[in-house]
Amino acid sequence: MRLVDGKYQVQGLDLVSICEEFGTPLYVYNADKIISQIQRLKQAFQGTNMKLKYACKALTNLNILKLIKQQGVELDVVSIEEAQLGILAGYKPEEILFTPNGVAFDEIKLAVELGLTVNIDNISILEQFGHHYGNSVPCCIRINPHIVAGGNSKIQVGHIDSKFGISVHQLPHIRRVVEANKIKVIGLHMHSGSDILESEVFLRAAEVLFNATEGFEDLEFVDLGSGFKVAYREGDITTNIEELGQEMAVAFNNFCKRYGKDLELWFEPGKFLVSESGVLLTKANVIKHTPSAVFVGVDSGLNHLVRPMMYDSYHEIVNLSNPEGTKRIYNVVGYICETDTFGCDRKINEVREGDILAMKNAGAYGYSMSSNYNSRLRPPEVLIYNHEAKLIRERETLDDLVRHQVDIFSTPKTKKEKGKKEVEKVS
């Protein structure tokens, strides 16, 4: 999003004009930014045999999946439904890594039937997998490295009390289960958290995983998850991908020599690929003055973007309609009957009722975490691709809210009443 001749634009298209065409609230994604993030990762890790798997829980619109697939990026999914969406988008089952958490073994069996690579993160499921498949179906195992990393406690998933992965201290138990059931393990996986800044954290976690490979002779890859930090505000510190790529290449290539075979190094970026591509565009409904603050109430809320309320995440807020206006201090809040605050004490160009505000870094975990709370409708999604604004999801309607509801009070209670209703319809 760039300010050009007094207008905020993406690929030369005026965002306010896009709102006039599609209405607000509205999610808009920039395809060029997604592609450039993919290319940056590929360039940074060119010294290794690296493979990217998009963590699609960040944003699962079929058009986004197809765009990412065009760039040669495979898929990481956490549910059967995400896998099915990936297949609908054109991914082959063998291009999809299935990394669920706490699911029933029936879902694991569905994944095997689909042809996915299953990533197992607890010993109970590993034992069931071995009893059911033996060495006929290969799998991956997720290790918990016991490393605290990430920008918020809710996105730190590699610490000792995390529900994710099998403790690195349980490796002897894992090996016994694998040996007893002759399970073919082709990959080891770990993910310590999101918004990680230091290369040293990645390298330390990688060394834990490299050491864990002892005794697993059939490995084809090791998967370091992701967690690369993007910029949320001007001057924000981010993960130095280029530095990490250089240091990781040395560490990984040395590991492969010790292991005795060249493996693939996998990463699973989600937020890194799509976060900065997306903006949530909203309209200022009302300017409300109180003794202590000035509130801007917009036509959106935590039902569309819950991250600020759930993770205390920061999303820069820009007034697209008045980019040269005097800067004033506002609290930007939503229209949900909860405290859904997008930003407190934000210095924004003067906001007038009817102005269009943009919430940046909304491409990841925005629409994908949205809901119908307060019976509000989800917004449409637009992808700017090759300098054209393409509608990739329609705005919801009341019909969408009631589509799967069953009205028991207007349904005939007996066959006789039902038959009478049918006769009345024909008449």
128 plus 195 within the same structural domain: yes
8 plus 88 within the same structural domain: no
- Could you report the per-residue pLDDT of 338-373, keeping only the tens digit for each? 999 999 999 999 999 999 999 999 999 999 999 999
Kindly list the distances between the CA atom of residue 229 and the CA atoms of 36, 123, 197, 252, 386, in Å, as whole numbers in the listed order: 16, 31, 6, 21, 27
Residues 281, 276: Cα–Cα separation, whole Å? 14
CATH number at residue 312: 2.40.37.10
253 plus 138 within the same structural domain: yes
Question: Is residue 420 included in any domain, yes or no?
Answer: no
Q: What are the tokens at 138? A: 């290969």
Residues 218, 209: Cα–Cα separation, whole Å? 15
CATH number at residue 45: 3.20.20.10
- Residue 198's CB is within 10 A of a number of other CB atoms, namely 13
- With contact defined as beta carbons under 8 Å apart, do 177 and 123 qualify? yes
- Could you report the per-residue pLDDT of 14-69, keeping only the tens digit for each? 999 999 999 999 999 999 999 999 999 999 999 899 999 999 999 999 999 999 99
166 plus 50 within the same structural domain: yes
388 plus 257 within the same structural domain: no
111 plus 192 within the same structural domain: yes
- With contact defined as beta carbons under 8 Å apart, do 52 and 267 qualify? yes
Estimate to the nearest angstrom the gap between the alpha carbon of 55 and the chain centroid. 6
Residues 354, 221: Cα–Cα separation, whole Å? 53
Last residue in a domain, options 273, 307, 329: 273
150 plus 289 within the same structural domain: no
Residues 189, 158: Cα–Cα separation, whole Å? 11
123 plus 172 within the same structural domain: yes
Domain span at residue 204 reads: 30-273
Residues 127, 136: Cα–Cα separation, whole Å? 14
Q: Active-site positions?
A: 337
- With contact defined as beta carbons under 8 Å apart, do 274 and 363 qualify? yes
- Could you report the per-residue pLDDT of 277-308, keeping only the tens digit for each? 999 999 999 999 999 999 999 999 999 999 99
- Could you report the per-residue pLDDT of 133-142, keeping only the tens digit for each? 999 999 999 9
What residue numbers does the annotated binding site for pyridoxal 5'-phosphate cover?
A: 227, 365
Q: pTM of the predicted model, to two decimals? A: 0.91
Question: Is residue 422 included in any domain, yes or no?
Answer: no
Q: Calculate the dihedral angle through the C-alpha atoms of 4, 9, 11, 17, rounding to the nearest 10 degrees.
A: -130
Name the domain count of the chain: 2
266 plus 289 within the same structural domain: no
